[in-house]
Amino acid sequence: MSGIWAGMVEAFLLVWSLDADLIDITLRSLKVSLSALVIACAIALPLGTWLAIRRFRHRRFVIAILNALMGLPPVVVGLIVYLLLSRAGPFGVLDLLFTPTAMVIAQVIIITPLIASITHQAMRELWSEYHDLLISLNTTHGQRIATLIWDGRRTLMTASLAGFGRAVGEVGAIMIVGGNIDHVTRVLTTAIALETGKGDFALALGLGVVLIALSLCVNLTIHSLSRTEREGRW
Amino acid sequence: MIRAILFALICAGTAIQAETLRLAATTSFNNSGLSDALLPAIAQDIGLDVQLLVVGTGQALRLGQSGDVDAILVHSKEAELAFVEAGYASHRREIMYNDFVVIGPSNDPAQVMAATSAIEALLRVAAAQSTFVSRGDDSGTHRKELSLWAAAGTDRVKFTSWYREVGASMGASLNSASAMNGYILADRASWLNFGNKGDLALLFSGDPVLFNQYAYLPVSAERHAHVKAQAARNLEKWLVSPRAKSIINGYEIGNEALFVFNARP
Amino acid sequence: MSQNLFVQLQGVVVKRRAKAVLGPIDLELSGGGFTIVLGPNGAGKTTLLKVLHGVERITSGSVTWSVSDKTAQQGQAYVFQSPVMLRRSVRANLAYPLQLLGLPKAEIAERVAHWGARIGLSAVLDFPAPRLSGGEQQKLALARALIRRPHTLFLDEPCANLDGRSTREVEDILCEATQAGARIIMTTHDLGQARRLADRVLFLSKGQVEEQARANTFFTAPESSGATAFLNGDIIE
């Protein structure tokens, strides 16, 4: 218990002193994970919705694959992205390895299946509710997707926040493709791994507390923003 | 007048913009804290912003092989020679050495303290079947440990559950040893800088066979045209300079020097 | 085609799980006003309505409208037996079909206000629609259908769950709509309502059109035995 207390004290001191390094890695954590979230949502929300309303052969197979991809070990994703972006690999000329961009790419790959899967499940239920009406009104596919996404936005927001949680707490993949370079690709999770490895548990735990607080802040902000809508109701 | 200002601004701009170089170095180099002492001096002296990737020796060599970094700093002579032989680097440049030490529980059940050589120390652990934590990650430290077991004439295949391969970095392995209260071979620098010692203590050191040579290998520009060969050369020059010598020899933890500079100019 | 003919069904069959639930049907519908579809449960009334609206797939046969298919589709509206409410406010539900058509905001606001008042829900325009009572939802679904000014309106048991007063309100709205030029095809179990509203009657039994007649003819002198039994109140198997 004293170890955990030491960690909380350390966290308080770090934040209180507005430690420059802490601010640096916290902002980078936010930047990387939020970028990954935005891109992943842009792909996953329409994809999940589209899967819910379109009937085609092999549809069940595609959905099964999507659900299975949720269980992709992040470290494996990191390794694959590394091999693709390495100088010895196909996309080496882009010089993306060991940059925050590579980290965003890896995180997008990791969280898109998660968001798409939850989206699909929610949209399927909503679609069965709206099905008759939307068909009767001669809506186009695009109109259907837009209507479902808007009316199902609360569940989609939960899906997005689940994705964000997964991204901001991820460490395996971004360690490999980012390299944990000080002031360049170091984020909260990789810094925690580094300090743990050095045996500096208090600092590692302190950073962990900051990470949890960060995640809480993001969640609370998004929840409160959405409540200002007219029909704000859970 | 305007032209002069413009010119000055351009000069200032290029001067402020430091060049960057990617260096893959082993975890022991970073864990000792030496990198935190060297990197700022490098930036100040030659305007080079070294982006340090802290990885295991095996991974460092792999990164150099693919050309994903511009230079590597490792401590595994055999692997380095093979690296040069294969043409991935033009040469290896010895910079400094530190030593390995045998760490173990302070009550020393295997009586390692009484050993007169490193090999004897390890044999005592094996005989007592006390818990021994091995890096198991193909790092420089791991290779040194394996070479000692081999020189002792033991067959690691016959080791039973007292021998635990954790497959992790120096710090993580020390954490495991601390938790298991077992023996472990570590580099002195990482040990002194380690924050979770628990009941462990330094039990054996000083045998010359435990010396740990660090070398700098710039990645071959012939193999990978894109590497920053000039910057790598500049860094190499700096690393063998008197300035580097004074920082390296002067780096202490608790009044104990960790590294010995032995580069030849 | 006879005068005022607006839709023609030829050899239409609808099969579900290899069982024919409707058809074969040869049918011509013409003229405005109310066409009431009557028949016992399971006769295929709802299926026929859906076939006419184009949302039920037919196994064989053809459905031909007198105007182009696209115009036909856009000019139709359907009110389901259990109304589908969008998870939005009453106002947003009313506005939705107009937004789909891309009408200007001012026009949408005007029509929404008009129809909100017409169905007596002005006070609750910003209330979430799924929270309305069954009767209110039914009226909302009706208003949502009529707000597009369709030329053909399909209704499936529109007053099934309504009390007397709401039923009267709905029938008033429907009569107004026919006077404005819409034609209405609806099913009902309420024979009294059928007598009140019908201009023509389609009697369905076991997936076939047993009788098609003008309203007064049908109710006073039905031709088929099935229709006679039905009007008598007998159970038809």
pLDDT at C1 over 60: no
Cα(A176)–Cα(A179) distance, integer angstroms = 6
pLDDT at C151 over 60: yes
What's residue B40's pLDDT?
94
Asked if residue B264 is part of any domain, the answer here is no
pLDDT at C2 over 50: no
Instruction: Please state the domain extents for chain A.
Output: 35-193
Please name the helix (run of DSSP H) or strand (run of DSSP E) that holds residue B51, with its range, or none.
strand B48-55
Whether the ipTM is more than 0.90: the answer is no
Q: How many CB pairs under 8 A join A and B?
A: 61
DSSP string, B170-223: HHHHHHHHHHHT-EEEEEHHHHHT-S--TTEEEEE---GGGEEEEEEEEBPTTT
Q: Which residues does chain A have within 8 Å of residue C102's beta carbon, measured at their own beta carbons?
A: none
pLDDT, tens digit only, all 234 positions of chain A: 677 888 788 888 888 888 888 899 999 999 999 999 999 999 999 999 999 998 888 989 999 999 999 989 999 999 999 999 999 899 999 989 999 999 999 999 999 999 999 999 999 999 999 999 999 998 998 999 999 999 999 889 989 999 999 999 999 999 999 999 999 999 999 999 988 877 788 888 889 989 999 999 988 888 887 764 445 443
Cα(C91)–Cα(B166) distance, integer angstroms = 65
pLDDT, one tens digit per residue, over A112-146 is 999 999 999 999 999 999 999 999 998 998 999 99
Q: Which of C82, C100, C146 to mutate to test the interface with A (most CBs of A within 10 A)?
A: C100
pLDDT at B89 over 90: yes
Q: Which residue range is the domain that position B111 belongs to?
A: 99-210
What's residue B204's pLDDT?
93
What's residue C7's pLDDT?
86
Q: Which residues does chain A have within 8 Å of residue C84's beta carbon, measured at their own beta carbons?
A: 129-130, 132-133
Q: Which residues does chain C have within 8 Å of residue A143's beta carbon, measured at their own beta carbons?
A: 100
Give the 3-state secondary structure of residue A163.
Answer: helix
B65–A contact, CB cutoff 8 A = yes
* Lowest model confidence (mean pLDDT) among B160-164, B254-258, C179-183: B254-258
pLDDT at C112 over 70: yes
Question: Which amino acid is located at C172 in the chain?
Answer: D
* Residue B116 belongs to domain with CATH number: 3.40.190.10
Q: Which of B23, B68, B174 to mutate to test the interface with A (most CBs of A within 10 A)?
A: B68
pLDDT at B14 over 50: no
What's residue A234's pLDDT?
39
pLDDT, one tens digit per residue, over B107-152 is 999 999 999 999 999 999 999 999 999 998 877 888 889 999 999 8
C5-230 placed in CATH 3.40.50.300: yes
Q: How many domains in chain B?
A: 2
Query: Do the chains C and B touch each other, judged by at least 3 C-beta pairs below 8 angstroms?
Result: no
* Lowest model confidence (mean pLDDT) among A111-115, B165-169, C116-120: B165-169
Distances (CA, A) of C173 to B138, C35, C155: 84, 16, 13
Query: Do residues B59 and B89 both lie within one domain?
Result: yes
> Which of B51, B194, B224 faces A199 most closely, judged by CB atoms?
B194
Query: Mean pLDDT across the stretch C139-166?
Result: 91
Cα(B261)–Cα(B243) distance, integer angstroms = 11
> Which of B31, B54, B67 faces A88 most closely, judged by CB atoms?
B67
Cα(B166)–Cα(B175) distance, integer angstroms = 11
Distances (CA, A) of A24 to A29, A174, B10, C190: 9, 17, 28, 73
Q: Which residue of A has its CA nearest to C74?
A: A138
Query: Do residues B139 and B170 both lie within one domain?
Result: yes
Q: Which residue in the block uniquely carries the two structure tokens 């299926």? A: C47
Q: Which residues does chain A have within 8 Å of residue C80's beta carbon, measured at their own beta carbons?
A: 132-133, 136
DSSP string, C104-155: -HHHHHHHHHHHHHHTT-GGGTTSBGGGS-HHHHHHHHHHHHHTT--SEEEE
> Which string of b and e fits C10-31 if b means at least 16 CB within 10 Å?
eebbbeeeeebbbbbbebebbe
Query: Mean pLDDT across the stretch C160-189?
Result: 90
Asked if residue B65 is part of any domain, the answer here is yes
Asked if residue B134 is part of any domain, the answer here is yes
What's residue C63's pLDDT?
87
Query: Do residues B224 and B201 both lie within one domain?
Result: no
Mean residue pLDDT of chain C comes to 88
Query: Do residues B90 and B155 both lie within one domain?
Result: no
Under CATH, to which class is A35-193 assigned? mainly alpha
Model pTM above 0.90:
no
Query: Do the chains C and A touch each other, judged by at least 3 C-beta pairs below 8 angstroms?
Result: yes
Query: How far does the CA of residue B197 sit from the closest CA of chain A (Å)?
Result: 8
